[in-house]
Amino acid sequence: MAVAEPVRASPRFRMPSVRLRGAAGVDVVGIVVLVVISFIALAAPWLAPHGTSESLPLGSFHAPTWAAPMGTDDLGRDVFSRVLFGIRASWLSAIIVIASGVLIGGIIGLTAGAAGGIIDAVLMRITDLFLALPGPLLALAVVAIIGPSLRNTLVAVAIVWWPWYARIVRAEVHALAARPHVDAAKLSGARGIRLALRHLLPGAFAPVLVTASLDVGNLVLTLAGLSFLGLGAPPPAPELGSMTARALPYLLGHWWIPVFPAVGVFVLAFAANLAGDALQDIFDIS
């Protein structure tokens, strides 16, 4: 007598492009570094021993000591305190531009991928137009027109920073639109915004998060470069790029004044890339 095989439940649908897995030791280090940098950026007003414009009794061009771990600059200001505030300004500025790029690009990419047809074609041609423009040169032109300041620099960079996210979100949404769970949602009555937000957009979360974390390092370098060229916040604002640029004449005689702000830029870019690699490994983006 034949024995009937047990009925197996059909496996629940899972997106094949992203698999969450445990974090390795290097990944943990990357996440910890990201948390530490974020804490320093937020707590800089309390961590800095002196104000950014305060002249110390040590005087100008004082070499690093216990009283001033990174020495003093040409005006007698504490370089350590100014680097902390520079890290805060660069990190938060990068987060603001990334957030605006994800928001604008996410809306455009979600609309293009979910709507398809002529809407998709028009939005992607606009995106291609921005991608074809040289981003740094366009940012330089915008800042030169509206004037050098940190706010204007952020606006200029944000104008050219969203197309990549639009492309990523559109590609993920377009791929997910043909998946069985989306067809099931359509059969159950999901349409329009509900379908896009609940069944399409979540699939793009992991790739966008990883891209944004890796992008922070590039953005920190871009903002520091614009500040180095004098297109950031005007002095005496503590910005890492402008601090390095203004202190270059002292490189040979008083090396600590330009070197420590430059090291701050390197640490920010390195920490962002380390955290991005960690997130990429954790989400196992294939």
CATH label, 84-283, candidates 1.25.40.10, 3.50.50.60, 1.10.287.810, 1.10.3720.10? 1.10.3720.10
The residue type found at 196 is A
Q: In angstroms, rounded to a whole number, what is the distance separating the alpha carbons of residues 197 and 96? A: 23
Tokens for 164?
């990549």
Structural contact between residues 148 and 232, judged by C-beta atoms closer than 8 angstroms? yes
Structural contact between residues 17 and 264, judged by C-beta atoms closer than 8 angstroms? no
Any residues with CB less than 8 A from the CB of 19 and at least 6 apart, and which? 283, 284, 286
* Residue 106: Cβ within 10 Å count: 21
Tell me whether the omega of the peptide bond preceding residue 45 falls within 30 degrees of 0, making it cis. Answer: no
For the whole model, what pTM was predicted?
0.78
Q: Per-residue pLDDT for the chain (286 aa), expressed as one digit of tens each?
A: 444 444 333 333 333 344 445 455 666 777 788 788 889 888 999 999 988 888 888 888 989 988 889 999 988 999 999 999 999 988 888 889 999 999 999 889 888 887 778 988 899 999 988 888 777 777 778 777 877 777 888 888 888 888 889 988 888 887 776 665 555 555 555 555 666 666 566 777 778 888 888 788 888 888 888 887 777 777 778 888 888 888 888 988 899 999 999 998 888 888 888 887 777 777 665 5
What are the residue boundaries of the structural domains of the chain, listed by start? 84-283
Structural contact between residues 60 and 74, judged by C-beta atoms closer than 8 angstroms? yes
Tokens 């990174």 locate to 70
Any residues with CB less than 8 A from the CB of 67 and at least 6 apart, and which? 56, 58
Structural contact between residues 191 and 200, judged by C-beta atoms closer than 8 angstroms? no
Structural contact between residues 156 and 139, judged by C-beta atoms closer than 8 angstroms? yes
